[in-house]
Amino acid sequence: MKLQIKSQTPTIEDIAQVVTDTKDFPFLTYVGPRTWRFFDGYYAACEDNVFAGVLAVNRFGGWSKLGSLAVLSKFHGKVVATALIKKAVATEKGKVFRASANPKVWKIAENIGMVEKYNWLNLPFSVRLIYLKLSLNVVLCGEFMQFIKELQRKQKLANVHNHRHFVYIDGII
């Protein structure tokens, strides 16, 4: 099995798979099919030329925010998420930020040398602006109500409020 990570926009079909497959995955808050089209960049994973997952990136003010991250369930446990995050950290220049409520993602971040640094109250201003942009995109894409419904539903599945924040600063860490 050969895993490839490419910097490319996922197809509409790939996005449809992600939206359907992650419906029951508690740690990815709903990202609708239209919202998926408005990130600044993407890393797509394919195993033997079959779409396996995607990591979206947003950039602003020298920061790259990694996420949303989605791996199709049939590829869980096959290091797809690790490969996506490693590729993004190696490729993105400057300061890289990743937040997640998923304990598996915390472990990946720590294993590749990211450092837990911030909490929501002291995030860098540029990262806060990225979050604002993401929120506006959800509204502008007409997916806000679905986002709220899914957020409420997923809160019953897991502790989605326990986010940990990790950074990798090129040349420092």
Domain ranges within the chain, ordered by starting residue: 3-169
pTM over 0.85? The answer is yes
pLDDT at 105 over 80: yes
Cβ pair 84, 66 in contact under 8 A: no
Tell me the pLDDT tens digit for each residue of 110-130: 999 999 987 777 888 999 999
pLDDT at 43 over 50: yes
- Please state, in angstroms and rounded to a whole number, the distance separating the CA atoms of residues 34 and 21: 16
Q: Which residue has the higher pLDDT, 85 or 94?
A: 85
Tell me the pLDDT tens digit for each residue of 133-171: 999 998 999 998 988 888 777 677 666 567 788 899 875
User: Any residues with CB less than 8 A from the CB of 40 and at least 6 apart, and which?
Assistant: 57, 58, 59
H helix or E strand, kind and range, residue 130:
helix 125-140
At 129 the pLDDT is 93
pLDDT at 50 over 90: yes
Please compute the mean of the pLDDT values over residues 24-37 and round it to a whole number.
Answer: 85
Q: Tell me the percentage of the chain whose pLDDT exceeds 90.
A: 66
pLDDT at 173 over 60: no
Domain covering 3-169, topology: Aminopeptidase (3.40.630)
Q: Which residue has the higher pLDDT, 15 or 29?
A: 15
At 112 the pLDDT is 92
Cβ pair 31, 19 in contact under 8 A: yes
At 142 the pLDDT is 93
- Please state, in angstroms and rounded to a whole number, the distance separating the CA atoms of residues 9 and 129: 23
User: To the nearest whole number, what is the mean pLDDT of the chain?
Assistant: 90
At 160 the pLDDT is 57
- Please state, in angstroms and rounded to a whole number, the distance separating the CA atoms of residues 141 and 16: 16
pLDDT at 62 over 70: yes
